Structure 1
Amino acid sequence: MTAIDRGTDRAGLVAVVGTGTMGQGIAQVALVAGHPVRLYDAAPGRASRAAGAIADRLGRLVAKERLSAAGRDTALGRLTPVTDLADLAEAELVVEAILEELGAKQQLFTALESVVSDGCLLATNTSSLSVTAVAGVLRRPGRLLGLHFFNPAPLMPLVEVVRGAATDEAAADRAQATVAAWGKTPVRCADTPGFIVNRIARPFYAEAFRAYEERVADPATLDAVLRESGGFRMGPFELTDLIGQDVNEAVTRSVWEALFHDPRFTPSLAQRQLVASGRHGRKTGHGWYDHAQGAGRPAPHTAEPCEPPGKVALHGDLGPAQGLVGLIEEAGIPVTHEPVGAHLALPDGTRLSLADGTTATEDPFAASVRFDLALDYRTATRVALAASTAAPEESLRSAVGLFQALGKEVSVVQDVPGMVVARTVAMLVDFAEDAVARGVAAPEDVDTAMLTGVNYPRGPLAWGRVLGARWVRDTLRNLHHACPTGRYAPSQALIRRAAADERLL
């Protein structure tokens, strides 16, 4: 693959059309990488103001000693705001970052096609529209592709390189090589609703919002469990307040509608009500949380200290939670081993088992308590527990005391299928497996996208390999039995792998 050459005058010219936050960020990336850049915006004066904003940002980089003053001056010498599309005639790459309206993008690229050379690459930064549809009005649709940058473009490494139905392989190769030369991490994907990240990430938000609607716990507790047990950098409630509830809900709705209302992608009514009420998150001062000046963040529900059990019996093995056994022994609590089962038995008769898509209340053993999945039980600082409605209070206290003896905070949540982390991760793994099976992207690109685009603690396919295809399938089947709407139906790709006892991709 050959990247677009960098130059100091006209060679390697990159044009950016649309000078909002994303357009400015893309222009800055190309500038710092050594390209001459021309900025165009249909609104009078906006391109010049954007050039000034880029100069200010580069100045801040100089102040932070991340860029030399000479480097800033050289970069700014290559930046030219223009007022006419004809001024983009010499561009080798045009990146569009205008409003997310199909007609507007088609009109722009039709106009550009009559201006630029036949060798110029055309790229749309759309996050929600079909690249194929954008290119459908062009005489030469083969040179148009998607380059989906993530905000803020100068900081986020991921770029999704999206091939439309008519995109030439050579065009995609050249675009990928170019963004790689800019220091970005490109991943290739097909033109499908949500591409990689916005498709596979939907359960991270949807399952937490559904848990809230089911009154499993409050947003602060659900966020804490997913952060401190699941290993995610931010919980879904605080993250969507940062993104903007209107923006996040619109992406979810767009993917759901584009996939013909697939029940796995159903939007959240609670989030829809937030958006309708104007509570869009930080930018409006209120979302799931109150962001007004001086407003404190509510604390997650955390259990009071309880006495740990004097000993524990391991029946069978705990599957993905087997690492707990070593932690219990390290805490000085004796562990005996029994050959049959998949649970921990405490001296008072309490039976502790890993969340598997069923509820503790469904367990025929009354004193049943479920514990949630963790990314790594050794490093997790919080674990969620849910007790059967028939369990005596002493059973819950014993279970709480056991995890507290391991140095964990404990959040007691309502007893629902899959709890919090388990159902979220099982869905993420299956969405990733299904995306690969449908040709959305290669396995390595899926995990790279989720690691670098949304900062997941582990790629979902790698996570699935740790958990095992059968555990993921069985958890989803149990969830599907509890909620037979199709939302939790495991994909055929996952079912096949689990049946053959194959590793996930």
Structure 2
Amino acid sequence: MTAIDRGTDRVGLVAVVGTGTMGQGIAQVALAAGHPVRLYDAAPGRASRAADAIADRLGRLVAKERLTAADRDTALGRLTPVADLADLAGAELVVEAILEELDAKQQLFTALESVVSDGCLLATNTSSLSVTAVAGVLRRPGRLLGLHFFNPAPLMPLVEVVRGAATDEAAADRAQATVAAWGKTPVRCADTPGFIVNRIARPFYAEAFRAYEERVADPATLDAVLRESGGFRMGPFELTDLIGQDVNEAVTRSVWEALFHDPKFTPSLAQRQLVASGRHGRKTGHGWYDHSEGAGRPAPHTAEPCEPPGKVALHGDLGPAQGLVGLIEAAGIPVTREPVGTAGIPVTGETIGAHLALPDGTRLSLADGTTATDDPFAASVRFDLALDYRTATRVALAASTAAPEESLRSAVGLFQALGKEVSVVQDVPGMVVARTVAMLVDFAEDAAARGVASPEDIDTAMLTGVNYPRGPLAWGRALGVRWVCDTLRNLHHTCPTGRYAPSQALIRRAAADGKLL
């Protein structure tokens, strides 16, 4: 029987072609799972140097007592660097991790077809190219699929198992079983631009960069708001400095071009200029931040201490922010509850939404895709969305142009009384966290509806691949899909380019949720 025909049995000999950081990491994963591994690189001597680097990493694991010396020696005994592609003849799985160029990958796999058996699985680790296109030149395209590991491969649990248009179901099943046997978390996805993670994660970067271009706040403040209010492990500016601005921008541009310049995926001009200037992040010593020796990280803008209001009035249900009411009362600030009807009276053709009212009448309301200045009342302050207002340590506020300074200071004092740092930002639609999360939910709903992956695999991918605090589909359910849809509709009204237009999948979901109420 061939390797593919054996169903879900694990493969035997694994070959890794391309011995950069990712290739070395994949080889280490296969070694740890007990496979004999052969390393090949077209550049003379690179495979041997990669084997030495893997040995060094395993040695460090021994020093940290995460691996025994005997297990290290056994693993290294299964590792063989080779100088000729023909030496991969016995492989049952070949994983390619060479440069991201379609022609180079096609040439490699064409050459491999004349070396390996017909039952050998062929996998590309591409993060941005079409798996279907890579396989398109092969005699047997059904055995090629994508195995997209995340860097560093030995530590990151997620692997996207990408089925191209011609990939055999048996090949995908076998690859998924193998990855699972390696202790990884495989998710199945279709061959679409960006797969799951690099498709759905685009707004996390794009909305922060757009906010920077709109002069909403500086990178340090935007990062802090998304971390400390949104619950993300790293902010987009610090994260792209770590990834490499050139790498992140190239993925964004690749997805945008592959989707025929869909405005939802438009790259950032500010990031493009950063890349053009050679400021690629930590690896060059400068990106959004200065990473040179001795350089300090700029602090986020944080408001000075202010007096809280003596009381507030609640008008209606604050929806995703309703939890603030209990926090305010726990802080010793009385909350009076006005009749629900007063939160919905028409005022000059507008409707007063749910809000908190300060003693002077200033309205505090959750970011909803409009600006504080759009409020029919002159004095208005928006507060940003939080993953959980109980645990959030920072909240962003934005005041309407007509709001008195004293009103803003009272709003700042209110959130400070809840134990939060406060960042005052420019008044723009959707603020920072609200617009970012709304877009992430929309992208996830759209991807699920288009068959990119199952809803379960989408949330798993975003949780394990980029460490989001909550899967975007689960996040949408927690917020209320109608709130997400309304927020995007408001953003689209302000910026009618198509960037914020809610997807048909989100509109249908919001309509269905409405019928259940």
Which of 389, 411, 422 lines up with 1:377 in the alignment?
A: 389
Q: Give yes or no for contact 1:3–1:178 (8 Å, CA) kept in 2.
A: no
Listed one character per residue, the Cα deviations across residues 84-126 of structure 1 (whole Å, up to 9, x for unaligned) are: 1111111010000001010110010011011111111000000
Listed one character per residue, the Cα deviations across residues 34-81 of structure 1 (whole Å, up to 9, x for unaligned) are: 000000011111101100000000000000011000000000000001
Is structure 2 residue 393 aligned with structure 1 residue 388? no
Task: Give the drift of 1:348.
Answer: 1.7
For 1:3 and 1:322, locate their aligned partners in 2 and report how far apart those are by CA, in whole Å: 56
Listed one character per residue, the Cα deviations across residues 449-494 of structure 1 (whole Å, up to 9, x for unaligned) are: 0000000000000000001111001000000011011000000011
Listed one character per residue, the Cα deviations across residues 360-390 of structure 1 (whole Å, up to 9, x for unaligned) are: 0010111100000000000000000000000
Q: Indicate how the Cα distance of structure 1 residues 230 and 301 shifts in structure 2: closer, same or farther if over 3 A, else same.
A: same
Q: Give yes or no for contact 2:10–2:174 (8 Å, CA) kept in 1.
A: no
Q: Indicate how the Cα distance of structure 1 residues 7 and 165 shifts in structure 2: closer, same or farther if over 3 A, else same.
A: closer
Task: Give the drift of 1:292.
Answer: 0.7
Q: Indicate how the Cα distance of structure 1 residues 189 and 294 shifts in structure 2: closer, same or farther if over 3 A, else same.
A: same
Q: Indicate how the Cα distance of structure 1 residues 122 and 12 shifts in structure 2: closer, same or farther if over 3 A, else same.
A: same
Q: Indicate how the Cα distance of structure 1 residues 225 and 503 shifts in structure 2: closer, same or farther if over 3 A, else same.
A: farther
Listed one character per residue, the Cα deviations across residues 235-272 of structure 1 (whole Å, up to 9, x for unaligned) are: 00000000000000000000000000000000000000
Task: Give the drift of 1:2.
Answer: 12
Partner SS, residue 122 of structure 1: strand
For 1:308 and 1:11, locate their aligned partners in 2 and report how far apart those are by CA, in whole Å: 65
Task: Give the drift of 1:344.
Answer: 0.3
Is structure 2 residue 148 aligned with structure 1 residue 148? yes
Is structure 2 residue 481 aligned with structure 1 residue 469? yes
| TM-score in terms of structure 1 length | 0.97
Task: Give the drift of 1:420.
Answer: 0.2
Q: Give yes or no for contact 1:433–1:504 (8 Å, CA) kept in 2.
A: no
Partner SS, residue 384 of structure 1: strand
Q: Aligned ranges for residues 390-469 of structure 1 at < 5 Å?
A: 390-469=402-481
Who is 2:376 aligned against? 364
Partner SS, residue 337 of structure 2: strand
Q: Indicate how the Cα distance of structure 1 residues 27 and 102 shifts in structure 2: closer, same or farther if over 3 A, else same.
A: same
Q: Give yes or no for contact 1:465–1:504 (8 Å, CA) kept in 2.
A: no
Task: Give the drift of 1:173.
Answer: 0.4
For 1:504 and 1:388, locate their aligned partners in 2 and report how far apart those are by CA, in whole Å: 35
Task: Give the drift of 1:406.
Answer: 0.1
Task: Give the drift of 1:500.
Answer: 2.3
Q: Give yes or no for contact 1:384–1:410 (8 Å, CA) kept in 2.
A: yes
Q: Give yes or no for contact 2:206–2:267 (8 Å, CA) kept in 1.
A: yes
Q: Give yes or no for contact 2:62–2:68 (8 Å, CA) kept in 1.
A: yes
Q: Give yes or no for contact 1:10–1:36 (8 Å, CA) kept in 2.
A: no
For 2:515 and 2:21, locate their aligned partners in 1 and report how far apart those are by CA, in whole Å: 42
| TM-score in terms of structure 2 length | 0.95
Who is 1:228 aligned against? 228
Q: Indicate how the Cα distance of structure 1 residues 143 and 2 shifts in structure 2: closer, same or farther if over 3 A, else same.
A: closer
Listed one character per residue, the Cα deviations across residues 147-178 of structure 1 (whole Å, up to 9, x for unaligned) are: 00000000000000000000000100000000
For 1:351 and 1:6, locate their aligned partners in 2 and report how far apart those are by CA, in whole Å: 66
Listed one character per residue, the Cα deviations across residues 270-328 of structure 1 (whole Å, up to 9, x for unaligned) are: 00000000011101111100001000111000001000111111101100000000100
Task: Give the drift of 1:339.
Answer: 2.7
Partner SS, residue 514 of structure 2: coil
Partner SS, residue 502 of structure 1: helix
Q: Give yes or no for contact 1:143–1:168 (8 Å, CA) kept in 2.
A: yes
Q: Give yes or no for contact 1:160–1:189 (8 Å, CA) kept in 2.
A: yes
Q: Give yes or no for contact 1:7–1:34 (8 Å, CA) kept in 2.
A: no
Q: Indicate how the Cα distance of structure 1 residues 212 and 9 shifts in structure 2: closer, same or farther if over 3 A, else same.
A: closer
Q: Give yes or no for contact 2:8–2:178 (8 Å, CA) kept in 1.
A: no
Who is 1:261 aligned against? 261
For 1:440 and 1:379, locate their aligned partners in 2 and report how far apart those are by CA, in whole Å: 33
Task: Give the drift of 1:346.
Answer: 1.1
Q: Indicate how the Cα distance of structure 1 residues 467 and 7 shifts in structure 2: closer, same or farther if over 3 A, else same.
A: closer
Task: Give the drift of 1:213.
Answer: 0.3
Q: Indicate how the Cα distance of structure 1 residues 120 and 8 shifts in structure 2: closer, same or farther if over 3 A, else same.
A: closer
Q: Compare 404-413 and 345-354 and name the one that shifted more.
A: 345-354
Task: Give the drift of 1:7.
Answer: 17
Partner SS, residue 500 of structure 1: helix
Q: Give yes or no for contact 1:282–1:291 (8 Å, CA) kept in 2.
A: yes
Q: Give yes or no for contact 1:381–1:408 (8 Å, CA) kept in 2.
A: yes
Q: Give yes or no for contact 2:193–2:199 (8 Å, CA) kept in 1.
A: yes
Listed one character per residue, the Cα deviations across residues 386-425 of structure 1 (whole Å, up to 9, x for unaligned) are: 0000011111011000000000000000000000000000
Task: Give the drift of 1:9.
Answer: 17
Q: Give yes or no for contact 1:468–1:503 (8 Å, CA) kept in 2.
A: no
For 2:516 and 2:284, locate their aligned partners in 1 and report how far apart those are by CA, in whole Å: 42
Structure 1 portions without partners, runs of 5+:
none
For 2:492 and 2:12, locate their aligned partners in 1 and report how far apart those are by CA, in whole Å: 53
Q: Give yes or no for contact 1:232–1:456 (8 Å, CA) kept in 2.
A: yes
For 2:403 and 2:128, locate their aligned partners in 1 and report how far apart those are by CA, in whole Å: 47
Task: Give the drift of 1:5.
Answer: 13
Q: Indicate how the Cα distance of structure 1 residues 8 and 436 shifts in structure 2: closer, same or farther if over 3 A, else same.
A: closer
Partner SS, residue 503 of structure 1: helix
Partner SS, residue 162 of structure 2: strand
Q: Indicate how the Cα distance of structure 1 residues 101 and 386 shifts in structure 2: closer, same or farther if over 3 A, else same.
A: same
Total equivalences in the alignment = 504
For 1:324 and 1:51, locate their aligned partners in 2 and report how far apart those are by CA, in whole Å: 55
For 2:459 and 2:2, locate their aligned partners in 1 and report how far apart those are by CA, in whole Å: 25
Q: Indicate how the Cα distance of structure 1 residues 7 and 210 shifts in structure 2: closer, same or farther if over 3 A, else same.
A: closer
For 2:327 and 2:192, locate their aligned partners in 1 and report how far apart those are by CA, in whole Å: 44
For 2:402 and 2:443, locate their aligned partners in 1 and report how far apart those are by CA, in whole Å: 35
Q: Give yes or no for contact 2:8–2:174 (8 Å, CA) kept in 1.
A: no
Q: Compare 178-187 and 492-501 and name the one that shifted more.
A: 492-501
Who is 1:171 aligned against? 171
Q: Give yes or no for contact 1:90–1:116 (8 Å, CA) kept in 2.
A: yes
Q: Give yes or no for contact 2:161–2:175 (8 Å, CA) kept in 1.
A: yes
For 1:318 and 1:296, locate their aligned partners in 2 and report how far apart those are by CA, in whole Å: 39
Q: Compare 5-14 and 440-449 and name the one that shifted more.
A: 5-14
Partner SS, residue 369 of structure 1: strand
Q: Indicate how the Cα distance of structure 1 residues 2 and 209 shifts in structure 2: closer, same or farther if over 3 A, else same.
A: farther
Task: Give the drift of 1:496.
Answer: 1.1
For 1:455 and 1:434, locate their aligned partners in 2 and report how far apart those are by CA, in whole Å: 21
Task: Give the drift of 1:336.
Answer: 1.1
Q: Give yes or no for contact 1:3–1:175 (8 Å, CA) kept in 2.
A: no
Q: Indicate how the Cα distance of structure 1 residues 228 and 6 shifts in structure 2: closer, same or farther if over 3 A, else same.
A: farther
Who is 1:490 aligned against? 502
For 2:135 and 2:490, locate their aligned partners in 1 and report how far apart those are by CA, in whole Å: 43
Structure 2 portions without partners, runs of 5+:
341-353
Q: Give yes or no for contact 2:249–2:267 (8 Å, CA) kept in 1.
A: yes
